[in-house]
């Protein structure tokens, strides 16, 4: 069985660790490869960081126009290999092929935006801030940076960070999720074709051992992370304690509010796509749907659109939703549905014990709807990360906003309405970093930061866009005076 290698200093090298985990196709349960893990992977991190530091010393002094040249080729390679990469994402993560192709497109868009670094890095200059004195600010690279990626987007999320980091003059160590390492392996096969210094971009495998090594290493200057809230808090605290700049995206609950004036057919389909896309395993999945003024028609439409969703292996034609990532995830999600019943909720649509013909051992859960959950119950406070819709009913949009703002998460909130006044009120008052109006997944495009509030984000600057440029640089203010009597005459 293939034991995956690390990519360090421009070469594919074996891990020093003898421990491995199986990489499993969640639909077929086929073992695709074995990935290194264990405490000894910390040594791999040491090696990668040492090489990254040497590469950074040369790379940071190159003109920015030269630093972005490899990004143009990277964009081309990603476009040329989209089908291959998408198939790999589907095999190791369970997504549908359409979802996987969409993920690669989002990665490409971040490469495109990062290519604007010559403009985005321009800073500020003030002439005669005082008599004969000029003052200006410049941005300089941090050094070695690190990205710790989650399983649910094996390609896209690393590209919230990677192209911006190198465009700004940094080097990077990428740690893909041990559950889905094959996609990043294929991406690094493309990176190997770029004209960049050896050691500029490195990839190391592993679990907690390699993560802790990244968080503690004194030569790593920043850490970018996406995952659950408990782990995001851990990453932020430990990395910040060692003096690093950190951006750690956490979990979410993502309420969606439907007003009586919303278009029923369009709204129900968009919400279903939001709840069940990627089998609900994304931090912008709608998980709580709030109908205002006892809207029975939207309830019926959501039930029908959920029930009709085609579930199966993502490589097969016509499939709209794949499996969840592991057997443990399947059992956890089914346990949370049972917990909702114990709390007094009614299961309107039950997706437990799903069996897909030809994939009977796969980690499948069909779309599930629970309603009448108590507002202060634990399930409405817990990130399910699966294809489960919690359906609530409230009297007014003000009640819905108040409920949203009491929650501990603040990743996304959405409103469906035909009223501009209601939309404006919701946009201004909902305490969430990403707000959608008649949008089911309020995922910012690459030109904007991927925001997040409260327990959904730890740090300050977010991934993507100008925020990423600011995160991967440090500012230096220069105050300059050249008295005439000091000026050498030639």
Domain of residue 223 covers: 6-250+456-478
Phi then psi for residue 147, to 5 deg, are: -125, 125
Q: Which two tokens stand for residue 462?
A: 């977010």
Q: What is the pLDDT of residue 488?
A: 63
What's the total number of domains in the chain?
A: 2
DSSP class per residue in 10-32:
TEEE--S--EEEEEE-TTT--EE
Q: Which residues are catalytic?
A: 283
Q: Are 11 and 140 in a shared domain?
A: yes
Q: Are 423 and 397 in contact (CB under 8 A)?
A: no
Q: Are 168 and 309 in a shared domain?
A: no
Q: Are 279 and 408 in a shared domain?
A: yes
Q: Are 228 and 267 in a shared domain?
A: no
3-state secondary structure at position 479: strand
Start-end of H helices in 60-157 = 64-67, 69-80, 82-93, 97-114, 117-120
C-alpha torsion sign, points 53, 55, 60, 61: positive
Phi then psi for residue 467, to 5 deg, are: -55, -40
Is a pLDDT exceeding 90 seen at residue 1?
no
DSSP H or E stretch at residue 235 = helix 229-241
448-478 confidence digits (pLDDT tens): 999 999 999 999 999 999 999 999 999 999 9
Q: What is the pLDDT of residue 294?
A: 73
Q: Are 316 and 362 in a shared domain?
A: yes
Q: Are 312 and 322 in contact (CB under 8 A)?
A: yes
Q: Are 120 and 203 in a shared domain?
A: yes
Q: What CATH code is carried by the domain that includes residue 373? A: 3.40.309.10
Q: What is the pLDDT of residue 489?
A: 56
Give the residue-averaged pLDDT of 55-62: 98
171-218 confidence digits (pLDDT tens): 999 999 999 999 999 999 999 999 999 999 999 999 999 999 999 999
Q: How far apart are CA 279 and CA 285, in angstroms?
A: 9
Q: Are 373 and 358 in contact (CB under 8 A)?
A: no
Q: Which two tokens stand for residue 208?
A: 């907690």
Q: Are 168 and 58 in a shared domain?
A: yes
> Percentage of residues in the chain with pLDDT exceeding 70?
99
Q: What is the pLDDT of residue 487?
A: 62
Averaged pLDDT score across all residues of the chain: 97
Is a pLDDT exceeding 80 seen at residue 490?
no
pTM of the predicted model, to two decimals?
A: 0.96
Q: Are 182 and 296 in a shared domain?
A: no
Q: What is the separation of C-alpha 290 from the centre of its chain, rounded to a whole number of angstroms?
A: 25
More confident residue, 135 or 483: 135
Q: 63: Cβ–Cβ under 8 A, 6 or more apart, which residues?
A: none
């Amino acid at each position: 069985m293939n034991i995956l290698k690390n990519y360090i200093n421009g070469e594919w090298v074996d891990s020093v660790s003898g421990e491995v985990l199986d990489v499993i196709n969640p639909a077929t349960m086929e073992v695709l490869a074995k990935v290194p893990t264990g405490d000894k992977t910390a040594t791999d991190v040491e090696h990668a960081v040492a090489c990254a530091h040497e590469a950074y010393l040369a790379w940071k002094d190159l003109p920015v126009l030269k630093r972005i040249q490899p990004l143009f080729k990277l964009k081309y390679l990603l476009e040329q290999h989209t089908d291959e990469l998408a198939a790999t994402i589907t095999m190791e993560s369970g997504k549908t092929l359409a979802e996987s192709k969409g993920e690669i497109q989002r990665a490409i868009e971040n490469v495109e935006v990062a290519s604007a670094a010559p403009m985005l890095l321009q800073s500020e200059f003030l002439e005669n801030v005082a008599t004969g004195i000029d003052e200006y600010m410049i941005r300089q690279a941090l050094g070695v940076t690190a990205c710790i990626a989650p399983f649910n987007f094996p390609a896209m999320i690393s590209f919230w960070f990677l192209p911006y980091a190198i465009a700004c003059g940094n080097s990077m160590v990428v740690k893909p999720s041990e559950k889905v390492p094959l996609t990043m392996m294929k991406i690094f096969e493309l990176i190997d074709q770029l004209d960049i210094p050896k050691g500029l971009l490195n990839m190391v495998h592993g679990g907690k051992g390699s993560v802790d090594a990244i968080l503690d290493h004194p030569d790593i200057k920043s850490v970018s992370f996406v995952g659950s809230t408990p782990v995001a808090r851990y990453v932020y605290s430990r990395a910040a304690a060692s003096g690093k700049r950190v951006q750690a995206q956490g979990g979410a609950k993502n309420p969606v509010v439907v007003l009586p004036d919303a278009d029923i057919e369009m709204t129900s389909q968009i919400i279903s796509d939001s709840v069940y896309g990627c089998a609900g395993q994304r931090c912008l999945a709608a998980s709580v749907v709030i109908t205002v003024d006892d809207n029975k028609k939207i309830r019926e439409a959501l039930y029908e659109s959920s029930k009709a969703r085609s579930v199966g292996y993502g490589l097969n034609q016509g499939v709209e939703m794949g499996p969840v990532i592991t057997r443990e995830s399947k059992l956890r999600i089914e346990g949370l549905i049972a917990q909702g019943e114990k709390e007094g909720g009614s299961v309107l649509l039950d997706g437990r014990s799903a069996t897909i013909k030809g994939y009977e051992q796969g980690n499948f859960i069909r779309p599930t709807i629970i309603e009448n959950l108590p507002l202060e119950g634990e399930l409405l406070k817990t990130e399910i990360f699966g294809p489960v819709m919690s359906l609530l009913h409230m009297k007014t949009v003000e009640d819905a906003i108040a409920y949203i703002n009491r929650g501990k998460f603040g990743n996304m909130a959405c409103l469906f309405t035909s009223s501009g006044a209601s939309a404006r009120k919701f946009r201004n008052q909902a305490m969430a970093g990403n707000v959608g109006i008649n949008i089911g997944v309020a995922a910012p495009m690459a030109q904007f930061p991927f925001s997040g509030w409260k327990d959904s984000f730890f740090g300050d600057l977010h991934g993507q866009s100008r925020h990423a440029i600011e995160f991967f640089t440090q500012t230096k203010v220069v105050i300059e005076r050249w008295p005439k009597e000091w000026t050498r005459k030639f």
